[in-house]
């Protein structure tokens, strides 16, 4: 495409690196942005510069915020004795949207993975172990994804923390609004095993 | 989500306005950008500013370039007697990727639509009629989408230009690599009607 200006082709290539966008959708997005130069393109570039300048990882929990220690870690309204362990910041945000958990978080930054050579020292696991003592933690809630890597990581952390505090994990079962006919065998088995008296 | 910093939430809201991205994928994209602040976020913001400053529509054909009249319209290598009419710049780029057409373009900026109240004066149709005389055009190739609105627009333009130059349109038929079993009835009917002697 010799006729696409250098600047625009450059922008398309960068946009195509975002998760969820390929070359075609990046082209569409860039054309949309160019059509709305004043309303969207310039403000979006400014918003990106603002985030690039302000965003940083909390040195305690790994959450993304604008200060050295994030708002959740410094909030006096949040319980200090409970830590919810999540894989990444997107999961922390998902937990926050539910609005139920009132303790603090610990963002691992990934999962253990033999294939990708990710060990405990590549994640924030040593820092978690340190926090258990420092913050007088009574319960660690493992809110890790129900994938093989997520569950491997959960088991590893549970062993590391054994005897130091209570370790729990999210319940597995039928999702709210879920239809049995569309659920996989594993979920139904888990829901049946964890059945409750009505 | 009280705990997501204002700047970041602002960026997510803007990203979610892009075609192909919703709230969830915008969040994922923004977290990815924050993780790669130096490598991706700042350069992407700079690239957007560069495009916002340089991109403009060609006053002749509506293509997006960096000059008042685009590179294709000023190129001496491109035939002046043929104009390929497309709906938008993405279609122009698609035609250019095929590398077959060596004439010039005319970007309508949309299609006629009774529902959305888009009339000929909202598109670049008057400018197209003007170009036919100005540029001594012998053939107009209608490369419009095979949708109802696209074909309505094609018929309208063909009537407007009747007797002033030859008007052709892209052939309809079986796409290269296409399997009959997966094609719709309309395409098979069109391909059968336009069958060629082998």
Query: pLDDT tens digits, residue range B59-77?
Result: 999 999 988 999 999 998 9
Span B137-161, average pLDDT: 92
Interface predicted TM-score of the whole assembly (ipTM), two decimals: 0.82
For A106-118, the pLDDT digits (tens) are 999 999 988 888 9
**Residues A56 and A71 sit within 8 Å (Cβ to Cβ):** no
For residue A25, what pLDDT band results from cuts at 50, 70 and 90? very high
CB count within 10 Å of CB A42 equals 17
Does B14 have pLDDT greater than 90? yes
Does A3 have pLDDT greater than 80? no
A18 CB-side CA count, 13 A: 29
* Among the listed residues A95, A94, A83, A75, the one whose alpha carbon sits nearest the alpha carbon of residue A128: A83
**Residues A83 and A105 sit within 8 Å (Cβ to Cβ):** yes
The alpha carbon of B141 is separated from its chain's Cα centroid by a whole number of angstroms, namely 15
- Give helix then strand counts, H and E, for chain A: 8, 6
Does A26 have pLDDT greater than 90? yes
Which among A11, A28, A72 has CB closest to B51? A11
* Among the listed residues A142, A76, A99, A51, the one whose alpha carbon sits nearest the alpha carbon of residue B44: A51
Count of A-B CB contacts under 8 Å: 162
Give the pLDDT confidence score for residue A197 in this predicted structure.
85
- Distance of alpha carbon A40 from alpha carbon A27, whole angstroms: 16
Write out chain B in H/E/C secondary structure: CCCCCHHHHHHHHHHCCCCCCCHHHHHHHHHHHHHCHHHHHHHHHHHHHHHHHHCEECCCCCCEECCCCCHHHHCCCCCCCEEEEECCHHHHHHHHHHCCCCCEEEECCCCCECCCCECHHHCCHHHHHHHHHHCCCCEEEECCCCCHHHHHHHHHHHHHCCCCCEEEECCCCCCCCCCHHHCCHHHHHHHHHCCCCC
* Among the listed residues A139, A95, A44, the one whose alpha carbon sits nearest the alpha carbon of residue B2: A95
A residues 38-57 lying closer than 8 A (beta carbon) to B: 40-52, 54-55
How is domain B77-168 classified at the CATH fold level? Dna Topoisomerase Vi A Subunit; Chain: A, domain 2 (3.40.1360)
Q: Looking at the complex, report in whole angstroms how far the Cα of residue B62 sits from the nearest Cα belonging to chain A.
A: 11
How is domain A6-54 classified at the CATH fold level? Helicase, Ruva Protein; domain 3 (1.10.8)
Verify whether the Cβ–Cβ distance A1 to B97 is below 8 Å: yes
Q: Looking at the complex, report in whole angstroms how far the Cα of residue A193 sits from the nearest Cα belonging to chain B.
A: 32
**Residues B34 and B8 sit within 8 Å (Cβ to Cβ):** yes
Torsion over CA of A28, A33, A35 and A38, rounded to 10 degrees?
180
For residue B2, what pLDDT band results from cuts at 50, 70 and 90? low
Residues of chain B with C-beta less than 8 angstroms from the C-beta of A40: 14, 17
B104 CB-side CA count, 13 A: 27
* Beta pairing partners, A85: A106, A142
* Encoded tokens for B181: 């079993």
* Encoded tokens for B188: 């098979």
A4 CB-side CA count, 13 A: 22
Q: Where are the domains of chain B?
A: 6-54, 77-168
Give the pLDDT confidence score for residue B169 in this predicted structure.
92
Verify whether the Cβ–Cβ distance A7 to B66 is below 8 Å: yes
Does A2 have pLDDT greater than 60? no
Question: A77-169 — its CATH code?
Answer: 3.40.1360.10
Span B141-158, average pLDDT: 92
Which among A34, A51, A90 has CB closest to B55? A34
Residues of chain A with C-beta less than 8 angstroms from the C-beta of B8: 51, 55, 64
Q: B167: exposed, middle or buried (C-beta count within 10 Å: 0-12, 13-18, 19+)?
A: middle
CB count within 10 Å of CB B177 equals 5
For A43-82, the pLDDT digits (tens) are 999 999 999 999 999 999 999 998 899 999 999 898 888 9
Give the pLDDT confidence score for residue A12 in this predicted structure.
94
* Beta pairing partners, A83: A104, A140
**Residues A135 and A80 sit within 8 Å (Cβ to Cβ):** yes
Verify whether the Cβ–Cβ distance B10 to A50 is below 8 Å: yes
* Among the listed residues B66, B108, B12, the one whose alpha carbon sits nearest the alpha carbon of residue A34: B66
Verify whether the Cβ–Cβ distance A31 to B71 is below 8 Å: no
What Å distances lie between residue A36 and A9, A56, B48, B133, CA to CA?
17, 30, 12, 32
- Distance of alpha carbon A24 from alpha carbon A21, whole angstroms: 8
């Amino acid at each position: 495409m010799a006729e696409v200006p250098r600047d625009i082709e450059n922008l398309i290539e960068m946009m195509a690196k975002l998760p969820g966008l390929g070359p075609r959708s990046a082209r569409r997005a860039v054309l949309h942005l160019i059509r709305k130069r004043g309303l969207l393109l310039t403000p979006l570039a400014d918003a990106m510069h603002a985030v690039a300048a302000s965003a940083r990882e909390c040195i305690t929990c790994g959450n993304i915020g604008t200060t050295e220690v994030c708002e959740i870690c410094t909030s006096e309204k949040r319980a200090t004795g409970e830590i919810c362990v999540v894989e990444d910041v997107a999961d922390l945000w998902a937990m926050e949207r539910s609005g139920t958990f009132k303790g603090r978080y610990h963002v691992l930054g990934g999962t253990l993975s033999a294939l990708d050579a990710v060990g405990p020292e590549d994640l924030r696991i040593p820092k978690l172990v340190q926090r258990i003592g420092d913050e007088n933690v009574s319960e660690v809630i493992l809110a890790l994804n129900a994938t093989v890597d997520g569950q491997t990581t959960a088991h590893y952390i549970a062993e590391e923390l054994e005897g130091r505090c209570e370790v729990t994990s999210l319940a597995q079962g039928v999702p709210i609004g879920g239809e049995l006919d569309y659920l996989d065998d594993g979920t139904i088995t888990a829901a049946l095993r964890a059945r409750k008296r009505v």
